[in-house]
Amino acid sequence: MRACAMAHPNVALIKYWGKREAAANLPAVGSLSVTLGALRTETTVVFDEMLSHDVLILNGVEQPSEHPRLTACLDALRALSGCQFNAQVVSENDFPTGAGLASSASGYAALVTAAAAALGIDADEPRLFDIARIGSGSAPRSLYGGVALLRNEGDGTQIEQLITPEDWALSVVVAVTTEVAKDTTSRDGMEQSRLTSPYYGQWIATHEADLERAVDCVRNRDFDTLAELAEHSCLKMHSVMMTTRPPLLYWSPTTLAAMLKILTMRNDGVPVFFTIDAGPQVKAVCPTGVAGEVESELAGVPGVLRTITGELGYGARIVAG
């Protein structure tokens, strides 16, 4: 009853921020993401009748015994399989954890993939997407590679892979501006935004149109329009964050410097756009042919600690471990 899985984080081009139902972790809005092939989470799950509770060892450190989200995912999987055993989960990220690089997305995608295999649950079981979503709203997107689309559908969500990594040669350059974990988790922050930002209603009301246009851009490989839409979605989300009480200011001076560098490059004719999540890291999306140029420009921005560049990745999968 043991399996190991690998998943990549993803970054949303059309963002998710806010929930329509907290208990089932249902997002208020759909989202569209690219899978970051350069970053990896590897997770091994062992179900063992000798364990008195679920154990999580994250990046070599055993976590405090309460992990409600992890246990909720494992409970849902145990219910599907009929297994009653507790689990030991050993998870390693090869990138900073909890710092706006979507470690929870790759973490829960790898967890659900490994745990399902360890329990003998079919990898095609559609409920695995909902179980990953319990862990993190962005995690179902990391079950897919290339470009993933998550939509609200009835009283649930639906997910599809819009294109594979082979369909569009895109790369993502991550400008790492800190290796330190953030103070406010996305989960707490988005609930605070829903309760206090005067712009939250507008964010929800204008989101669907952005999503539909971005889907068309991906289908038509229209990079320039996608660039404009993705930056707009990112800045709209950050406007909601900034106008939350107390404010959620995830940017550092280096974040802004990297954004301005990317805008300057695009004005100079280089196809590239930025996106930023709940942290100060900047991700630049570009055709793979210009990734080297984008990487060296971002590496030269004062305050950028390092860059990580990679093509679009594949979905979560079982690996030898």
Q: Please report, as ranges, the residues that interact with ligand DP6 according to CB under 6 A.
A: 12, 15-17, 25, 31, 102, 104, 136-138, 186-187, 277-278
Nearest CB to ligand DP6, comparing residues 104 and 113: 104
Biggest alpha carbon distance in the chain?
A: 62
Provide the minimum distance between the beta carbon of 190 and ligand DP6 in the complex, in angstroms, as a whole number.
6
Least CB distance to ligand DP6 at residue 213 (A): 17
DSSP state of 167: G
Q: Contact at 8 Å (CB) between 73 and 34? A: no
Please state the closest distance from residue 137 (CB atom) to ligand DP6, in A: 3
Q: Which residues contact 286 (CB under 8 A, 6 or more apart)?
A: 170, 171, 173, 270, 271, 272, 273, 294
- Backbone φ, ψ for residue 117 (5° rounding): -65, -40
Which residues, 6 or more positions from 191, have their beta carbon under 8 angstroms from its beta carbon? 18, 19, 22
Question: For residue 97, which phi and psi values (nearest 5 degrees)?
Answer: -95, 135
Q: Which residue is nearest to ligand DP6 (CB)?
A: 137
Which CB atom, from 217 or from 290, has the smaller least distance to ligand DP6? 217
Taking the least distance from each CB to ligand DP6, the nearer of 210 and 297 is: 210
What CA–CA distance (Å, rounded) separates 265 from 288?
15
* Shortest distance (Å) from residue 132 CB to ligand DP6: 10
Q: Which is nearer to ligand DP6, 31 or 88 (CB)?
A: 31
Residue number with CB closer to ligand DP6 (12 or 211):
12
Q: Report in angstroms how near the CB of residue 183 gets to ligand DP6 at its nearest.
A: 15
Minimum distance, C-beta of residue 97 to ligand DP6, in the bound complex (Å): 12
Please identify, using beta-carbon distances, which residue of 15 and 290 lies nearer to ligand DP6.
Answer: 15
Instruction: Kindly tell me which of 88 and 281 has the beta carbon lying closer to ligand DP6.
Output: 281
- Tokens in use for 114? 């490994």
What are the contacts of 299-303 at 24+ separation with CB within 8 A?
299/175, 301/175, 301/254, 301/257, 301/258, 301/261, 302/254, 302/257, 303/177, 303/252, 303/253, 303/254, 303/257
The minimum distance between CB 77 and ligand DP6, in angstroms, equals 18
Contact 100, 281 (CB under 8 A): yes
